[in-house]
Amino acid sequence: MSDETVTRLEMTSPSQLVPGRLPPARLELHEVDRSAAALLRSTYVRIGAPHGWVGRSGWSDAQWEEELSRPGVRAWVARVDGEVAGLVELEAEPSGDGDVGIVVFGLVPEFAARGFGGHFLTLATRAAWEMTSPEGTPATRVWVQTSSGDHPHAKPNYERRGFREFQP
């Protein structure tokens, strides 16, 4: 039996976002499409390996392509000086209620705990607030779930950016 604790957090207004401090080097988000499936797969594996992520670790490039082809799903790779630093996948839920989920978020080990996470989450959250559902509904809530198995800075970072716990 696992002792994992899952926490769900939300933000219900863009005004709740508390920007993170600027990172020690410029971090940029580059949106990618299904043609970047191999890069996303390898980045996900790099991010998750230290934390025992298993969810998508075994996904094939075809499964990543399929995921990125779904309506409302978008992904970005974070880069620092051209080097892959992280990954974020967002999904504007097709229910039309304005929910946008931060489905995958993380930094590769070389960039974790080095002052990049707060700014990266700020950029990812702004991108989430700019999304619309496949039906055209603007974002009214951005949510994320994290677990005790994620990087120890994950939950505090979400909370410092303005996310608050909620019960489904």
Virtual torsion, Cα 69, 98, 10, 66, nearest 10 deg: -10
pTM recorded for the entire structure: 0.94
Q: Where are the domains of the chain?
A: 6-165
**Residues sharing a CB contact under 8 Å with residue 2, sequence separation 6 or more, in sequence order:** none
CATH T-level topology, domain 6-165? Aminopeptidase (3.40.630)
Tokens of 145: 């779930």
How does pLDDT run along the chain (168 residues), one tens digit per residue? 457 899 999 999 999 999 999 999 999 999 999 999 999 999 999 999 998 888 898 899 999 999 999 999 999 999 999 999 999 999 998 877 899 999 999 999 999 999 999 999 999 999 999 999 988 999 999 999 998 888 899 999 999 999 999 987
Q: Is 126 helix (H, G, I), strand (E, B) or coil?
A: helix
Residues facing residue 6 across a β-bridge? 147
26 Cα distance to chain centroid: 18
